[in-house]
Every structure is written in structure tokens, then in C-alpha cells.
Amino acid sequence: MVRIKTSALLIPMLCGLIAGPALAGDIVGKVKYAGNAPAPAKISITKDQAVCGKEPHVEESLLVAADKGVKNVVIDVADPKDGKPMPPAAKNPAVDQTGCKFLPRVQIVPAGQMLDINNNDGILHNIHTFPKNNVPLNAAQPKFKKTVQAKFDKPDVVQIKCDVHSWMTGWIVVAGHPYYALSDAAGSFTISGVPAGTYTLEYWHEKLGKQTKPVTVPATGSVTADFEYAAK
């Protein structure tokens, strides 16, 4: 009994050593919305009109393309096997406050990475973060304070708001490993170089919520993992 168990463990281990680098594939897909794209509701600018009202603001919490692709969905492998950390970015990721909007609205930031929150508007903003697993930040950012920094050490989904301009909102998804992707305007995404195996894939959207589905990553090439959110 013991012998059989040992060899059953050893053979795949030895094969792994002989094969050299880990076998890995890509997860590609498209996220869609089963309903009609919502009409972009206009946001009324109630403060700092000269700066914030330069460009019209519309509701961007659910962006659906003509063919139903959903932008700003974060897709990640919930249970990666190799547990390697996300490589640090070459320079600090940044959230810009421009025209009283957080740009980009949604972004993925490696855990432990310093994030620059920039004030490009020359007026007072007040950064307020709402983490679940990290330390919150609530800091006034007067017009002369170009950058406030924030760091999130643990994986999380963090909403950012401005206490001065109630319509301003953005999201930081803090990644503890590299197997994350953000869907583009067409709803498409790619997670590259995932070690072969079967995983749970998570789809998170600020308005449509979190959904999961299993995915099996091949040793070479890619697997397609499309997903459709039910209409709200």
C-alpha cells in the first residue's frame, strides 16, 4: 500500500523535473451581459463647476458594448497552485483625478505596491478608501498636494471615493498573485502563463457582482472561459 502511494507521488514529480520549465497555458475569454446596455445616465455636477463640469459626466458603473461585451470586469484564478507573488510594477501604478473623475475607474494593483493617487485638478479632493482586508485611508488632498500614496498589503477589492465630490468613484483590485486580468471595452481578457491544472475562475464586476466557474488550463495553448452575467 505504502509503496504504491509513494510511486504515485514520485512519478509526476520526476516527470516535472525531466520536462524542465512548468507547463502553462493562457485563459482567454469574453464577458457579456445578457440584458440591454443601460443608457448612460447623466451625472449632475454640483460643485467646482469650472473644473469638474468642463466635460459631461455620465454613469460608468456598467459599460456594455454593442455586442454585449462588459468592460471593467476583473477575472482571476481564485486558487493558483504555485502561489508566486505578482511581480512589482516598474513604476508605481497611479490613479489620476482629472476633471473630478478617477482614471482609470478600475485597476489591478499588486499587493504591497505603492499606489500614487494624483490630483491633476488644482482643487481640493479628499481621498477615502474602503478596504475589507487593509488599512483605510481618509486624507484631504488640497490643490497644492499633487500626490497622495496608498499601499494595500493584502488581496482585496477597495472602493475609492472622494468626500468632496460625491459622484467620484473608482476601484482598486489588490492582487496577491499574477493571474489576474481586466476586461477591455469589448469584454475581452487574457490571463497568460497559468500553470496547467484545474482551477476556479472568478469574475468580479462592481455592479454585477462576483461569479465563479471552473476552468482547466492546458499545458500549452489556451482555454476559452467566456462568461455571461444575467441581466439585472
Q: How many chain residues are in contact with Cu ion, going by CB under 5 A? A: 5
CA atoms within 13 A on the CB side of 104: 14
Among 30, 57, 68, 125, binds Cu ion (CB under 5 A): 125
Q: What is the DSSP letter of 108?
A: E
Contact between residue 102 and residue 226 where contact means Cβ atoms under 8 Å apart: no
Is the preceding peptide bond at 214 cis, omega within 30 degrees of 0?
A: no
Shortest CB 204 distance to Cu ion, Å: 25
Shortest CB 149 distance to Cu ion, Å: 17
Contact between residue 43 and residue 158 where contact means Cβ atoms under 8 Å apart: no
Shortest CB 168 distance to Cu ion, Å: 5
12-71 positions binding Cu ion, by CB under 5 A: none
162 touching Cu ion, by CB under 5 A: yes
- Among the listed ranges 30-38, 112-120, 161-169, 175-183, the one in contact with Cu ion (CB under 5 A) is 161-169
Shortest CB 151 distance to Cu ion, Å: 21
Among 165, 179, 208, 227, binds Cu ion (CB under 5 A): 165
Shortest CB 145 distance to Cu ion, Å: 12
User: With respect to Cu ion, which residue has the nearer C-beta, 32 or 125?
Assistant: 125
User: With respect to Cu ion, which residue has the nearer C-beta, 81 or 128?
Assistant: 128
Q: Build a one-symbol-per-residue string for 82-121: x at contacts with Cu ion by CB under 5 A, - elsewhere.
A: ----------------------------------------
Shortest CB 92 distance to Cu ion, Å: 20
User: With respect to Cu ion, which residue has the nearer C-beta, 164 or 217?
Assistant: 164
Shortest CB 88 distance to Cu ion, Å: 29
Among 63, 150, 164, 174, binds Cu ion (CB under 5 A): 164
The string over 120-149, giving b where at least 16 C-beta atoms fall within 10 Å of a residue's C-beta and e elsewhere, is ebebbbbbbbbbeebeebeeebeeeeeebe
Distances (CA, A) of 136 to 81, 86, 114, 157, 158: 30, 22, 14, 12, 9
Neighbouring residues of 135: CB distance < 8 A, sequence distance ≥ 6? none
CB-count exposure of residue 32 (10 Å: 0-12, 13-18, 19+): buried
User: With respect to Cu ion, which residue has the nearer C-beta, 57 or 125?
Assistant: 125
Measured between alpha carbons, how far apart are the two ends of the chain, in Å?
A: 54
Phi-psi region of 40 (alpha: psi -120 to 50; beta: other; left: phi over 0): beta
Write out the residues near Cu ion by the rule CB under 5 A. 125, 162, 164-165, 168
